[in-house]
């Protein structure tokens, strides 16, 4: 209700072109050749793995961490960035996937494929384990998502945080999974191909989903739930779908992580880990997948760069976080600018 607002269309158009943000560059490519890009990314992951023997182990280690963080951040971005459901429980989903898939390869697989299986069988079992881990995490996603649907903003954040902590306490109380000491002796199946192949699939799934008429519903839910419902969008269902898909990939990331570090314990999935992932999403610019990928890379490298200042590492990290929030709350890589609406409605 601002009568002073320019209403003539020319002015409006001029003003709009000034404000209009170019659609994220990646989105056009994805819209045109989505499957080709996915294939290319998978081939690239394969090539990367093929030459992994020539990569300095230190860099290979960082690459793996980057890949896992990309999966985590991109999948959380579907929940946080696109659907607007602030979740602080991503590490919880990750732990479900990590423990489940480790249990499959350690306790179930040997009885299925024998003690000395062929490579193909091992690979098949690993894929199955990752998949089962993802599915169980997705079930956890429903369990967390469903009751949380009535909550918004920081309440949802604290409840998802609580769920993550509850999951941790539960793992701590399962002796078969190592209890508080953690689970050791997970077979070393994870390599660069699996990590980046999964990252590629995860990114594809999120982008393909969001770039569809169905998927615009996620953003509609984030923008205005009441309006979304009034347009026939089942907001409850969308939120659950976002939680399920997000948790599924977090679970797979957990499986990859477990089969890389070879030992997991409940402490490694505490809420600090969830916050790290959230920070990637926020710095990347909520709902901007390309930016989130960059942020995941940057925030994996940052601690490495800060290694020389080991003592001050966390201080610097948290200080930078606060400063960034104060100066660039829309994220480091925000192309889709979130300006204030013209009307303070």
Partner 1 sequence: MASQNETNSRGMSATLLNLEHCTIRFGGLTAVSDLNVRIGENELVGLIGPNGAGKTTVFNLVTGVYEPTEGRIQFSGEDIVGEAPFEITKRGIARTFQNIRLFPSLSVYDNVRAAFRLHIKHGVVQAMWRGGGFVAEEQGIEGQVMEMLDIFKLGKFRDVPAKSLPYGDQRRLEIVRALATRPKLLLLDEPAAGMNPTEKVDLMKLIRFIEEKYRISVLLVEHDMQVVMGICRRIIVLDHGVQIAEGTPEQVRANPKVIEAYLGQ
Partner 2 sequence: MSEFLQQVINGLSLGAIYALIALGYTMVYGILRFINFAHSDVFMVGAFMGFYAGKILPHESMLGGIGALVFAMLVCAILGILIERFAYRPLREGSKLTVLITAIGVSLLLESGGQYLFGADPKSFPMMFPSKEFSLGGIAISSNQILVFVATAVLLVALQFIVLKTKIGTAMRAVSFNPQAASLVGINNDVVISFTFGIGSALAAVGGILYSSNYPSIDPYMGILPGLKAFVAAVLGGIGNIPGAAMGGILLGVIETFVNGSRYSTYTDAIAFTVLILILLFKPAGILGKLHVEKV
Q: Which residue has the tokens 């607002």?
A: 5
Q: Which residues are near partner 1 by CB under 8 A? A: 1-3, 5-9, 11-13, 15-17, 19-21, 23, 34-35, 204-205, 208-209, 212-217, 219-220, 222-224, 226-236, 241, 245, 287, 336, 338-343, 345
The residues in 182-241 that bind partner 2, with binding defined as CB under 8 A, are: 226
| Alpha helices (runs of H) in 78-231, residue ranges in sequence order | 90-103, 109-113, 119-148, 153-172, 192-210, 213-223, 225-230
Give per-residue burial for 59-81: e unless 16+ CB within 10 Å, then b.
ebebbbbbbbbbbbbbbbbbbbb
The two three-digit tokens of residue 63, written as one number: 């690459």
Segment holding 344, helix H or strand E: none
Q: Is residue 96 a contact point for partner 2 (CB under 8 A)?
A: no
Please report how close the Cβ of residue 276 comes to partner 1 at its closest, in angstroms: 26
Q: Is residue 329 a contact point for partner 2 (CB under 8 A)?
A: yes
Q: Is residue 277 a contact point for partner 2 (CB under 8 A)?
A: no
Residue 233 binding: pick among partner 2, partner 1, none (C-beta 5-8 Å cut-off by kind): partner 1
The angle that helices 90-103 and 153-172 make with each other, rounded to 10 degrees, is 30
The two three-digit tokens of residue 315, written as one number: 């201080």
Residue 216 binding: pick among partner 2, partner 1, none (C-beta 5-8 Å cut-off by kind): partner 1
Residue 44 binding: pick among partner 2, partner 1, none (C-beta 5-8 Å cut-off by kind): none
Give the phi and the psi of residue 63 in degrees, each rounded to 5.
Answer: -60, -45
Q: Distances from the Cα of 193 to the Cαs of 60, 63, 196, 289, in angstroms? A: 12, 11, 5, 21
Residue 86 binding: pick among partner 2, partner 1, none (C-beta 5-8 Å cut-off by kind): partner 2
Among 61, 154, 223, 304, binds partner 2 (CB under 8 A): 154
If the CB atoms of residues 65 and 239 are measured against partner 1, the closer one turns out to be 239
CA distance 108 to 186: 12
Among 279, 280, 292, 293, binds partner 2 (CB under 8 A): 279
The two three-digit tokens of residue 190, written as one number: 């994870």
Positions touching partner 2 (CB under 8 A) are 86, 147, 150-151, 153-155, 157-159, 161-163, 165-166, 169-170, 172-173, 226, 275, 278-279, 282, 286, 311-315, 317-319, 321-322, 325-326, 329
């Amino acid at each position: 209700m601002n009568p002073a607002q320019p209403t003539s269309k020319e002015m409006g158009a001029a003003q709009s072109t000034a404000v209009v943000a170019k659609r994220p560059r990646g989105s056009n490519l994805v819209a045109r050749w989505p499957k080709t890009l996915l294939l290319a990314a998978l081939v690239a992951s394969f090539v990367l793995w093929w030459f992994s023997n020539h990569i300095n182990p230190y860099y290979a280690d960082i690459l793996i961490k980057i890949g896992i963080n990309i999966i985590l951040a991109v999948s959380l971005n579907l929940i946080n960035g696109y659907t607007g459901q602030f979740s602080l429980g991503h590490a919880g989903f990750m732990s479900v996937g990590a423990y489940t898939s480790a249990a499959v390869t350690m306790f179930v697989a040997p009885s299925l494929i024998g003690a000395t299986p062929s490579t193909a069988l091992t690979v098949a079992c690993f894929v199955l384990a990752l998949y089962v881990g993802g599915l169980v995490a997705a079930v956890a996603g429903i369990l967390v998502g469903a009751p949380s649907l009535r909550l918004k903003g920081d309440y949802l954040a604290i409840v998802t945080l609580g769920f993550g902590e509850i999951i941790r306490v539960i793992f701590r109380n399962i002796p078969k999974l190592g209890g508080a000491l953690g689970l050791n002796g997970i077979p070393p199946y994870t390599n660069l191909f699996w990590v980046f192949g999964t990252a590629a699939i995860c990114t594809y799934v999120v982008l393909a989903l969001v770039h569809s008429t169905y998927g615009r519903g996620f953003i509609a839910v984030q923008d205005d739930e009441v309006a979304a419902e009034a347009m026939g969008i089942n907001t409850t269902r969308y939120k659950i779908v976002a939680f399920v898909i997000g948790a599924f990939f977090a679970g797979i990331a957990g499986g990859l992580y477990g089969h890389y570090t070879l030992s997991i314990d409940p402490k490694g999935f505490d809420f600090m880990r969830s916050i790290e992932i959230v920070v990637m999403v926020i710095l990347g610019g909520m709902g901007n997948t390309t930016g989130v990928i960059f942020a995941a890379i940057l925030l994996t490298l940052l601690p490495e760069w800060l290694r020389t200042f080991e003592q001050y590492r966390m201080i610097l990290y948290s200080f930078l976080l606060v400063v960034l929030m104060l100066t660039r709350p829309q994220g480091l890589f925000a192309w889709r600018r979130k300006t204030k609406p013209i009307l303070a409605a």
